[in-house]
Amino acid sequence: MKNISLLELARKAGVSKTTASLILNGKSDRYKISSVTKARVLRIAKENSYKPNVLARNLSMGKSMTVGLIMSGLKEPENVELIESIEGKLIERDYQIVIGITADDVEKRRRILSEMVERRVDGIFYVGEESDIAEVDMKTMQIVCVGFGAKEMSGVSINVDAGIRKLIGYWYSKGKRSIGYVGLSTGNVDCKKSYKENYVERFSMQGDNMLLLKRENDYDKMKKKLLALTTKGVNAILFETSGLAFLALKVAKELNDHSLNDISFGSFGYHPAFDVAAKEVVYIAKPVDAIADKSISILFDLMNSDSKINARFKLEPLFRS
């Protein structure tokens, strides 16, 4: 059966198009429309399998009922969890999500941002550093930055320092006194800074054991870094990302080096492999649901406000040992 239009439905019910729309949108009581008229319109809508033109309705409201979400990639399992959490909470608000993956490509990020603005999304979540999207005209688009620093725009950041302080403190309580660090040369600056402050400076270490890779999936370089740290006598290693920790687990398993068995692994970020790995990994996890809740709350406040809001929140990470 062909779906009838709102105008056709109104004619069949003997009411105006506006009255039919108010009834179908649950506003009959507010506008004091009689129960008889309401019942007639709903009955005819049901008999004719009426389906509203969502696009037309949204345009009439001045909204697209869509929100964009932009991030560099899905390598981190927590990013996938964040997408699922945000999407589920948006559905509860009758919103849809449009996802853009930049793969750390500047031009691609600009193109995705431009396309989202052109398709008139009502707002954007950006997972990353806010400096990466400084070129966006904030007057035309509401953006919430989800990452490690919300300084200029509204956003949610993770208290990196609190998590690493807990992890290093935990290792010290277990007698771990020589802690290494494996990160990315272009990775998390706050993570590196916190390692130095909470290990090198806090405990007056003469030097740190920080080693950096250019790529997260470089097996050979990871092998060299782990062996180098064992020769330095470290008894714990903090990995800057869950991907680096996952790669280190693979290398340690295949090397089967007994010197690695006595070294504790820790990760900034969670990976499902940690739950089944033979070697224990303590980790600092992002509070995904809390991030989604707070980010959505900020974005909808921005979208519903005529004035400029600069809301910044720092959430505590989860520590799992």
Q: What is the DSSP string of 212-244?
A: EES-TT-HHHHHHHHHHHHHTT-SEEEESSHHH
pLDDT at 55: 53
Domains of the chain: 6-52 (1.10.260.40), 64-158+288-316 (3.40.50.2300), 160-285 (3.40.50.2300)
Packing angle between helix 6-13 and helix 17-24, nearest 10 degrees? 100
Select from 128, 183, 163, 186 the least CA-distant residue to 315.
163
Residue with tokens 């405990």: 203
Who's near 104: CB < 8 A, 6+ residues apart? 72, 73
8 Å CB contact between 219 and 247: yes
Give residue 150's pLDDT: 47
Q: Are 266 and 167 in contact (CB under 8 A)?
A: yes
Strands 281-285 and 318-320: antiparallel
Whether this prediction's pTM lies above 0.85 is answered by no
* Closest residue by Cα to residue 78 from 257, 242, 315: 242
pLDDT for residue 130: 67
Q: State residue 129's pLDDT score.
A: 72
From first to last of its 321 residues, what are the pLDDT tens digits of the chain? Answer: 567 888 888 999 999 888 888 888 777 887 889 999 999 999 998 888 887 765 555 555 567 788 999 988 887 888 889 999 999 999 888 888 999 998 878 888 888 888 888 888 888 888 877 666 665 555 567 888 887 554 567 888 888 899 999 999 999 899 988 999 999 998 888 899 999 988 888 777 766 689 999 998 899 999 999 999 999 889 999 999 999 999 999 999 998 877 888 899 999 999 999 999 989 999 999 899 999 999 999 888 888 876 666 778 889 999 998
Phi, psi for residue 195 in degrees, rounded to 5: -60, -45
Query: In the prediction, which pLDDT does 245 show?
Result: 96
Instruction: Give the pLDDT of residue 296.
Output: 92
Q: Can you tell me which residue has the tokens 């062909």? A: 2
Contact assessment for residue 79 and residue 243, using Cβ atoms and an 8 Å cutoff: no
Token representation of residue 3: 């779906």
- Is residue 40 within 8 A of residue 13, CB to CB? The reply is yes
Angle at CA 191, nearest 5°, toward 123 and 235? Answer: 145
